[in-house]
């Protein structure tokens, strides 16, 4: 962990923490941090959400030892950084950066901060599809009162498969269980014991499945065969909530959609667009192999005007917004507060990223 590790009792008196975030400075919170850790200097610059940042002024980057940033920042202007707090659950933007490759720098994710709002998006779009809300919305715009000839599907007794059982997947499972669904979980590594199924990352109060008690069955593996076995479990709803790596790119392709066609699974992707082979998804939608899809991410992203996904049957698309909530920054601040307190005492951090698997 390098120089950011402090000896117990020495606090953070020599540390400079830079926050580069897409929001104005939270001055009361900054004052609270500096009061809690005498000698800690907190700096804040505002970044744009959808465009890379301008170079940092020298007076901002000098002597920074800790960083929280939306966008990757160059290692050469931050040579003293030893702790990076991400505001995302994954690190795909950072993987190629020199700072990320430095073994002396500890990266921590914002795992758990996005789970409540994204899980609501998953369940909301699932209910919208099952209850034909879009069709009735069109009818309302036409000022018509007609009962459509569509069967409504309710959720009790149906099966949710969660591909990637991290914080977001666990909150999806919690909401699915509340609807009466049976939940199957898939993880890269095996979780054979109750202890191994626990998750000690950040969890907003009253959310998630920190003890791993919800899934009726657990599946695991990194091979295509292992994924296919999971997909063959008669899933009514498949939620993709896993990190994007080389091994998870196009984890759903023609072969996988053929497997899902047995149950006509509904597919919800709130992870990353390249998890799904877009051409294979289009074929599956057009041929009725799946009931439908809800996509908050796409490949390519953003989808260009006129892309065939926009007019494919039974698909609902939003422009990567499921993470949005006015509560997000408060949750990230809570993660930072916990980690700074642990740093000041020389204790292990929460949400530490596994650099091998990038989550």
Stretch 269-273: mean pLDDT, rounded? Answer: 98
- Distance between CA atoms of 187 and 163, rounded to whole angstroms? 7
pTM to 2 decimal places: 0.92
pLDDT category of residue 10 using cuts at 50, 70 and 90 = low
Are 11 and 23 in contact by the 8 Å Cβ rule? The answer is no
Residue 269 β-bridge partners: 240, 295
Confidence check: pLDDT of 3 > 80: no
pLDDT by residue (tens digit) across 153-188? Answer: 999 999 999 999 999 999 999 999 999 999 999 999
**Range from 15-29, 54-68, 87-101 carrying the lowest mean pLDDT:** 87-101
Place of tokens 């269980």: 177
- Distance between CA atoms of 253 and 279, rounded to whole angstroms? 8
- Distance between CA atoms of 74 and 90, rounded to whole angstroms? 18
Q: Which residue, 65, 112, 63, 70, is CA-closest to 87?
A: 70
- As a whole-number percent, the residues of the chain with pLDDT over 70 amount to 97
pLDDT by residue (tens digit) across 176-234? Answer: 999 999 999 999 999 999 999 999 999 999 999 999 999 999 999 999 999 999 999 99
Q: Residue 48 — left, alpha, or beta (φ > 0 → left; ψ -120 to 50 → alpha)?
A: beta
Stretch 82-98: mean pLDDT, rounded? Answer: 91
């Amino acid at each position: 962990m390098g120089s950011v590790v402090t000896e117990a009792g020495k606090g953070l008196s020599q540390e400079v923490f830079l926050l580069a975030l897409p929001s104005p400075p939270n001055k009361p919170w900054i004052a609270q941090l500096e009061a809690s850790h005498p000698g800690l200097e907190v700096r804040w610059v505002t970044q744009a959400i959808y465009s890379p940042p301008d170079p940092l002024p020298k007076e901002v980057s000098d002597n920074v030892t800790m960083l929280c940033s939306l966008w990757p920042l160059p290692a050469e202007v931050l040579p003293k950084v030893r702790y990076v707090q991400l505001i995302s659950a994954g690190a795909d933007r950072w993987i190629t950066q020199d700072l990320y490759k430095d073994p002396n720098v500890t990266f921590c994710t914002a795992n758990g901060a996005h789970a409540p709002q994204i899980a609501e998006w998953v369940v909301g779009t699932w209910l919208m599809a099952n209850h034909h809300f879009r069709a009735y919305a069109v009818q309302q715009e036409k000022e018509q009162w007609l009962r459509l000839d569509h069967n409504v599907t309710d959720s009790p007794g149906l099966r949710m498969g969660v591909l990637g059982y991290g914080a977001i997947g666990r909150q999806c499972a919690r909401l699915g269980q509340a609807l009466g669904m049976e939940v199957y979980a898939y993880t890269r590594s095996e979780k054979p014991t109750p202890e191994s199924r626990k998750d000690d990352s950040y969890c907003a109060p009253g959310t998630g499945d920190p003890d791993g008690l919800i899934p009726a069955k657990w599946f695991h593996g990194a091979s295509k065969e292992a994924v296919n076995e999971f997909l063959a479990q008669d899933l009514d709803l498949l939620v993709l909530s896993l990190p994007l790596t080389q091994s998870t790119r196009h984890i759903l392709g023609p072969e996988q959609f053929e497997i899902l066609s047995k149950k006509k699974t509904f597919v919800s992707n709130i992870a990353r667009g390249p998890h799904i082979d877009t051409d294979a998804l289009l074929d599956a939608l057009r041929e009725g192999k799946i009931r439908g899809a809800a996509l908050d991410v796409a490949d390519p992203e953003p989808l260009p005007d006129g892309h065939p996904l926009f007019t494919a049957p039974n698909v609902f698309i939003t422009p990567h917004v499921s993470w949005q909530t006015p509560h997000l920054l408060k949750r990230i601040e809570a993660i930072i507060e916990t980690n700074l307190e642990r740093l000041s005492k020389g204790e292990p951090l929460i949400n530490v990223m596994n650099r091998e698997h990038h989550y």
